[in-house]
A and B are shown apart, each in its own frame.
Chain A
Amino acid sequence: MRGKEKIIEIKHLTKYFDVGNGKVLKAVDDVSFDIFKGETLGLVGESGCGKSTAGRTIIQLYQATSGQVIYDGEDISQKKSAKESKKLKKKMQMIYQDPYSSLNPRMTVHESIAEGINNHEEQLSQREIESRVYGLLESVGLTKKHANRYPHEFSGGQQQRIGIARALAVEPEFIIADEPIAALDVSIQAQIVNLMQDLQLEKNLTYLFIAHDLSMVKYISDRIMVMYLGSMIELAASEILYDEPLHPYTQALLSAIPIPDPRMERTRERIILKGDVPSPINPPSGCRFRTRCPKAMQVCSEAVPRWQEVSENHFVACHLYDLEYISLVVD
């Protein structure tokens, strides 16, 4: 359920880290995609593939090495004045992975949630801020009683809800959720995800949901993007990605999801990738996945696969589907 209006366009986003000795860690390498207003875009990939870095670069916690982040028509990756960047911060917020360390242990819940409000609306009185904080607590399923307690007095799920309330305090339009449920029990994960969906409807939010739990990502996302070692490799609507994965990596990822039926789980054939993930400091030439790909060909080591729309709204970066290459080979 999304309109066709774009809320954010990421163009050729790159983030390299200098790791000394002239070596460079290519955490995010030329990533481009759009997010539409009101949708949830899932971003999946294994640990170290650059999804968290991408999220943090988009939200300007890291300075992008190159590329543009265009929010509501404005390029926000350029250096901004303090006032302008403050305005932006109202519109984009982030929910973090570790619920406990995302809250200052020395601040009460009230203070943590009110921080954003205090930054952007200094003119509000204490009572107004208090009632806003209570309202936010209620909207995430907590109560007034929780307001003057400290983070360590809560469970992980509750802490994450406080984190969500804090992000909502500045009334953003776009929220990047960086693995928000990875540190929680499965049953609590469900609660949080349901809460996030309810809030999305209520407040017209757009989400970028970064995760590595594929089943959960499918539940919450409209479209899903897969990353590997800093590059995008596939992007499609959730159902389609799961029913017809094109890229060999996506196929392997999906085959790793356990099936609830023990009989089927025992007898099915799993795609198991050989080898380890290469280092992002020295990624393989051509297609980064070729060292582990069961379908690697000669061309994969020579040329970087192009990002192409193979079927409607289904993009993939793989030589197997590169029509030009296929025609060349056939000839």
Chain B
Amino acid sequence: MSSLKQEVEDDLFVRAPLEEKVLEDFAEEPVTFWNEAWRRLKKNRGSLLGLITIIFLSLMALFGPVISNHSFDDQDLALSNLPPKIEGLGWLGFDGRDVNGKDQYEAREVTSNFWFGTDEFGRDLWTRVWKATQISLFIAIVAAVLDLIIGVVYGGISGFFGGRVDGFLQRIIEVLIGIPNLIVIILFILILEPGITSIILAMVITGWVGMARVVRGQILQLKGQEYVLAARTLGTSNVKIIWKHLLPNVMGAIIITLMFTIPTAIFFEAFLSFIGLGLQPPLASLGVLIEDGYKSMRFFSFKLLFPAIVISAVMISFNLLGDGLRDALDPKMRK
């Protein structure tokens, strides 16, 4: 083997030069992670639709009750159970006619139009539906944010320290998961009086576990990444490592989980209301309205229809958005 080397002299070779120091200019602005994620999200039509719907429904929830001149709990029995009537949209069904085709507005000499109709107490449904949306969204978002805070802290500690701490914390979670969610929530409502706070509390007690597990999984995976090792070798403190290296990279997973927690919370709240453990009158959430509407589904279908459409739209939109975000934020799918 040594004789071979003499045939190819070392000085036949010249050092390979480094590529030109001035490369072609980067075409655009620096592309941050969020820029890129947003770009990818925009391309996904489903998630874009979801996002627009959520924004639309949120705006309606804020301004809907203000637009109409009615309040959500003004009762007037003379106006009870009026079908929906909107000027100009009569051909779509908003003509004020009931199941039998009779124009209720004419018959009772009602002058103002109730866009979504009225309920059995004469309360304007348009206002009630959007107010209910406000309340449902509020409950869902507060519950989701509380889940986030508890879950991130718990999962973060569990994942970062690993070892026995992790084992201990995980055992606790396993016990909690073994208990059926619904039972815990119902028990809670029965103990505390039904109301916004108790519903939120009940959902958070069992809901944080999902976020904790996701955060823990992400952190366990990120701990071993070479840039974290590099940070340790460079002398970065633990706090800085969590803050600058771990958390920003877990953000994506946290947001995605958040997007899916919200529809779950909305659903749970609606379910509780449906079985009577939800909010009490005159407060109404979408679930309460649906329960009311359900009772007179055959004669006054509009009372069920509108809250049902809104709640479905909200849940579908969050799911679409969540799906889109999951694709957009997954770094492995970079082009």
Report A's interface with B, CB cutoff 8 A.
56, 59, 61, 85-86, 89-90, 92-94, 96-98, 101-108, 112, 115-116, 119-120, 138, 141-143, 145, 148-150, 152-153, 163, 166, 169-170, 187, 190-191, 194-195, 242-243, 254, 259-261, 264
Contacts and interface: CB of A to CB of B under 8 A. Distances in A.
B171 interface: no
Nearest to B231: A115
B235 A93 contact: no
Interface centre among B18, B22, B227 (most CB of A within 10 A): B227
B21 A59 contact: no
B229 interface: yes
Given A61-B229, A96-B226, A152-B334, A194 B26 contact: no
A89 B19 contact: no
A153 B18 contact: no
A190 B334 contact: no
Contacts of B15: 194
A106 B226 contact: no
Contacts of B18: 141, 191, 194-195
B4 interface: yes
Contacts of A141: 18-19, 21
Interface string B217-237: 000000001110111111111
B167 interface: no
B248 interface: yes
B233 A93 contact: yes
A61 B235 CA distance: 11
Interface of B: 1-2, 4, 7-8, 15-16, 18-19, 21-23, 25-26, 30-33, 225-227, 229-237, 244-245, 248-249, 331, 334
Given A89-B233, A141-B21, A194 B226 contact: no
Contact of B234 (A101, A106, A108, A166): A166
A103 B228 CA distance: 9
A108 B31 CA distance: 10
B4 A170 contact: no
Contacts of B22: 143
B16 A107 contact: no
Contacts of B249: 104-106
A149 B226 CA distance: 19
A90 B233 CA distance: 9
A7 to B, nearest CB: 17
Contacts of A96: 226, 229-230
A101 B225 contact: yes
A166 B230 contact: yes
A202 to B, nearest CB: 14
Contact of A108 (B8, B16, B30, B225): B30
B233 to A, nearest CB: 5
A120 B231 CA distance: 12
A163 B229 CA distance: 12
Interface centre among A105, A138, A149, A170 (most CB of B within 10 A): A105
Contacts of A163: 230
Given A86-B235, A153-B31, A194 B230 contact: no
Nearest to A142: B21
A39 to B, nearest CB: 20
A89 B231 CA distance: 11
B207 to A, nearest CB: 28
Given A56-B229, A119-B234, A141-B18, 10 more contacts: A94-B233, A98-B226, A119-B235, A119-B237, A143-B22, A152-B331, A170-B234, A194-B16, A243-B1, A259-B4
